[in-house]
Amino acid sequence: MNRFPLIVVIAGATLFVGRKLLTQGRTERTSFASMRRRMMRRMMDAMPEDSPPRLVVSILPRLQQQNDQILVLLKEQNDLLRRLSAKR
């Protein structure tokens, strides 16, 4: 049981990185969307490291991993509760 959260985190990180790599290879569908992304990237690159938007962006992947882990644990708990209630 101690290894389960670690396995979930590794699987989540692998899926996250794989998805990012797959989406990077795709061409931009609209020029407006690509222009917005370029402008946002330039704006974020120009900000200091300790600016609030950059801090928030740096925290988002960790929050996503935590949320994924919580969802997996809640689903496991739900399954266990259903099995217990079915035995009664």
DSSP of 7-48, one letter per residue? HHHHHHHHHHHHHHHHHHSSPPS-HHHHHHHHHHHHHHHHS-
* Distance separating alpha carbons of residues 37 and 84, to the nearest angstrom: 50
pLDDT recorded at residue 25: 56
pLDDT digits (tens, 9 = 90+) for 17-56: 778 777 765 554 567 888 888 888 888 888 888 888 888 8
**Domain map of the chain by residue range?**
3-87
3-state secondary structure of 83: helix
Q: Summarize the confidence of residues 66-80 as an average pLDDT.
A: 96
- 61: pLDDT confidence band, cut at 50, 70 and 90? very high
Q: Is the pLDDT of residue 4 over 80?
A: no
